[in-house]
Structure 1
Amino acid sequence: MKVLHIDASPRSVRSVTRKLSAGFIQNLRLRLPGLHVTHRDVGHHPPAFISDAWVGAAFAPGDQHDPSMKGILHHSDELTAELLNCDTLLIASPMHNFTISASLKAWIDQVVRTDMTFKITEQGVVPLLHGKKALVITSRGGFVAGTDYDFQEPYLRKIL
């Protein structure tokens, strides 16, 4: 089993989601000795926000990518490859301002790629990631999942 573990908290030792996800991975390793985990710490090393140049490169046909476009998309391609190569996605994210952290949103923007992770058809958006499982470990202070102030859970349910 291959797990892509995304840590999205900017906190270190005081992060509840980091502690919970580390414990989850530790227990999983005990049950699955052949487990392969790719850890991506977007909380401490956030991906770049998408830019005008990124959008232009991402939506240009691949055979039209010049070296500049390939350079712009290099990190996005790397992040997307990690997602495509995993069996299970584990996201550990606190709630920030009623939703996901900016660093997690930046990662999502880098990996939600047309004709790679989804395609647009006459019927609408069609996911291209089949057979994968996603697990979200989240923490929040004073807000209950599913309340009017919870924009984190509905967003993640939709995007995943």
Structure 2
Amino acid sequence: MKILQINASARSVGSNSTRLANAVTARLQAQHPEAEVDLLDLSRHPRPSLDEAALGALFTPADQRTPAQAARVALDDQLIAQVQSADFIVIGVPMYNFGVPTQLKSWIDGIARAGVTFVYTEKGPQGLIKGKKVYLALARGGIYRDTAADSQVPYLKHVLGFLGMTDVRCIYAEGLAMGADSVEKGFAAAAADLDAVLA
């Protein structure tokens, strides 16, 4: 059994979303002591953006790729293999300007590959990454849960579901930029969420 934890904060130290993701992973480890943890810190190991060179590499047949193109595709192959081998996926998600961090978007671009992690069929798209439990550890300075200003959760549930990961659960720590009392309340609410989703 394997837990993949993805820290998407731009901060490698002192990140609230990483703190929350660590708590989720610790709870999963307590429930599954045999589980191996695979940690991907996107601040320390950022993934390259999806640019013209990357698209060229991806759309070139494998036996015709240059060494540089093969190396670029191999970076995404590694990300896909990590996800495919995981049973649980924990993603620490801070809110930056009402969206997901660019680091997380680059990771999503890396694992979303037609013919590998999803296919188009006569009945529409079909995700190929199945049987995973995904936990979103969401840390926000303000309070956005279940409001129109929360663009993160609908987007992440949609794109992960598109890839086949439909079992997505959310743990929220909000109000973290609204004073010490609000921080305490935010993490208390996150602890309650964690109890509820991992009872």
TM-score normalised to the size of structure 2? 0.74
* SS of aligned partner of 2:155: helix
* SS of aligned partner of 1:138: strand
Alignment gaps of 5+ in structure 2? 161-199
Counterpart for residue 87 of structure 2? 87
Runs (4 or more) in structure 1 with deviation over 4 Å come to none
Contact 1:59 1:114 in 2 (8 A): no
Note the alpha carbon deviations across 1:36-55, whole angstroms, 9 max, x for none: 11100013321110121211
Report matched runs for 1:41-56 at 5 Å: 41-56=41-56
* SS of aligned partner of 2:26: helix
* SS of aligned partner of 1:147: coil
Contact 2:12 2:41 in 1 (8 A): no
CA distance in 2, matches of 1:70, 1:144: 41
* SS of aligned partner of 1:84: helix
Q: Report the count of equivalent residues.
A: 160
CA distance in 2, matches of 1:25, 1:119: 31
Note the alpha carbon deviations across 1:13-39, whole angstroms, 9 max, x for none: 431111111122223223222111110
TM-score normalised to the size of structure 1? 0.90
Does residue 7 in structure 1 map to residue 7 in structure 2?
yes
Note the alpha carbon deviations across 1:99-136, whole angstroms, 9 max, x for none: 11010001111111111111122322210011111111
Counterpart for residue 73 of structure 2? 73
Alignment gaps of 5+ in structure 1? none
Contact 2:8 2:92 in 1 (8 A): yes
CA distance in 2, matches of 1:27, 1:146: 25
CA distance in 2, matches of 1:103, 1:47: 7
Report matched runs for 1:9-158 at 5 Å: 9-158=9-158
Alignment RMSD (CA, Å): 1.7
